[in-house]
């Protein structure tokens, strides 16, 4: 057990056997909580050409990252399929790439394929950097406790020494800092709010319409299929990057047939990323991106679904007669031009 995990146990947090989820915490009724982001890890890209290197690899515009402090960004293969999905964070000397731990090893390997030609280095920072998710109506007060100010714009990051706080959609912030500073930060924060579970954070991500990748969905989606352009995680003006030709062709000359939907469903088993979805007359019309339980005991999920099927038919889990998804409005607008043929 790591020193970090031992510290969380002193706050009555129970972790999964793999240590990648906070399963239970001390009982509380607070609407604001602090979620240890044990399911996320960070890669560092440091060096004088770090920005130039990432500009040629990721879907986001790195000048936005440098100006705001953070953006979502995908690393794609040459066919536009997403190899990794990162929150890119500007830091001293370069950038941190926050990703789900399932994606860390493969993501680092793919970055290292190309970085040898740049004056920059890619390193696994799992043992050095940890994160907290601050969520709820009092989340801004928690940020102010450590930073004396609060970022007000989505993707805006602020710094206090080695600590970084980023505003993310909803009443939420991500806080990233060296492991050595975690105990002191947690001591200060837990005077104001209790710990929360990984499920609470993932649920909030889903409700905000923010996608993520898992090993089961690796290289399955191009960025627009997960609405990444609506979250400013894709730039269509930045120039070339790996997979850019396919991504840009869809935007300007193609038609998006499979966008990402928000849905809820009554089921006894939580769907897994990559699970197939079905309509009454056709199998495999979509795939689950992420899922979590709601407070009411229903599964809330993001799923990439064939739009024609979703418009005309009920969508089901497991088989054509399985539990029916109830599609919900997304918290952002999708450009209707994406769904029109441009030929």
Q: How many residues does the chain have?
A: 343
Exposed (0-12), middle (13-18) or buried (19+): which is 94, by Cβ within 10 Å? buried
Rounded to whole angstroms, the Cα distance separating 222 from 220 reads 7
Buried b (16+ CB within 10 A) or exposed e, 112-124: eeebeebebebee
CA-to-CA dists, residue 21 to 14, 38, 49, 248, angstroms: 8, 6, 35, 36
CA-to-CA dists, residue 78 to 213, 230, 254, angstroms: 18, 22, 17
SS3 171: coil
For the chain, which domains are there?
Answer: 3-38+130-200 (3.30.70.1630), 257-343 (2.40.30.160)
- Residue 137: CB atoms within 10 A of its CB come to 10
In contact, 326 and 265? CB cutoff 8 Å: yes
Which pLDDT score, from 0 to 100, does residue 97 have?
98
Q: Is pLDDT above 90 for 5?
A: no
Specify the DSSP element, H or E, that contains 158.
Answer: strand 157-160
Task: Please provide the average confidence, as pLDDT, over all residues in the chain.
Answer: 94
Q: Is pLDDT above 70 for 202?
A: yes
Q: What is the percent of the chain where pLDDT is above 70? A: 99
CA-to-CA dists, residue 338 to 275, 310, 341, angstroms: 25, 16, 8
The DSSP code for 328 is E
The reply to whether the predicted model has a pTM over 0.75 is yes
pLDDT single digits (tens) 133-178? 999 999 999 999 999 899 999 999 999 999 999 999 999 999 999 9
pLDDT single digits (tens) 12-45? 999 998 889 999 999 999 999 999 999 999 999 9
| Nearest residue to 88 (alpha-carbon basis) of 118, 60, 53 | 60
What is the mean pLDDT of the segment spanning 79-95? 97
Strand partners of residue 97? 43, 88
DSSP string over 201-235 = HHHHHHHTT-----GGGTTT--GGGGTGGGGT---
SS3 293: strand
SS3 102: helix
Rounded to whole angstroms, the Cα distance separating 266 from 276 reads 16
């Amino acid at each position: 057990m790591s020193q970090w995990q031992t510290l969380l146990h002193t706050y009555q947090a129970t972790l999964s056997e793999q240590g990648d989820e906070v399963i239970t915490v001390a009982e509380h009724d607070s609407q604001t909580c602090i979620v240890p982001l044990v399911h996320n890890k960070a890669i560092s890209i440091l060096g004088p050409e770090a920005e130039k290197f990432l500009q040629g690899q990721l879907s986001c515009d790195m000048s936005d990252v440098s100006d705001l402090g953070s953006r979502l960004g995908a690393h794609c293969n040459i066919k536009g399929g997403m190899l990794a999905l990162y929150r890119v964070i500007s830091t001293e000397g370069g950038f941190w790439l926050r990703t789900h731990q399932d994606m860390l090893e493969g993501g680092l390997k793919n970055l290292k394929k190309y970085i040898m030609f740049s004056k920059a280095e890619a390193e696994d920072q799992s043992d050095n950097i940890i994160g907290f998710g601050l969520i709820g109506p009092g989340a801004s007060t928690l940020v102010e406790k450590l930073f004396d100010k609060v970022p007000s714009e989505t993707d805006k990051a602020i710094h206090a020494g080695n600590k970084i706080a980023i505003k993310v959609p909803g009443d939420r912030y991500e806080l990233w800092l060296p492991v050595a500073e975690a105990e002191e930060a947690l001591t200060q924060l837990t005077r104001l709010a209790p710990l929360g579970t990984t499920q609470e954070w993932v649920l909030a991500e889903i409700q905000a319409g923010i996608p993520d990748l898992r090993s089961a969905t690796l290289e399955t989606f191009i960025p627009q299929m997960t609405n990444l352009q609506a979250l400013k995680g894709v730039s269509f003006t930045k120039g070339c990057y790996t997979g850019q030709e396919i991504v840009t062709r869809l935007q300007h000359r193609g038609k998006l047939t499979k966008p990402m939907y928000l849905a809820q469903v009554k089921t006894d088993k939580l769907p897994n990323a990559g699970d197939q979805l079905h309509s009454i007359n056709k199998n495999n019309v979509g795939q689950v991106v992420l899922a979590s339980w709601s407070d009411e005991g229903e599964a809330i999920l993001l799923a990439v679904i064939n739009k024609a099927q979703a418009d005309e038919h009920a969508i089901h889990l497991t088989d054509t007669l399985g539990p029916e998804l109830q599609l919900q409005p997304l918290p952002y607008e999708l450009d209707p031009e994406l769904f029109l043929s441009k030929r």
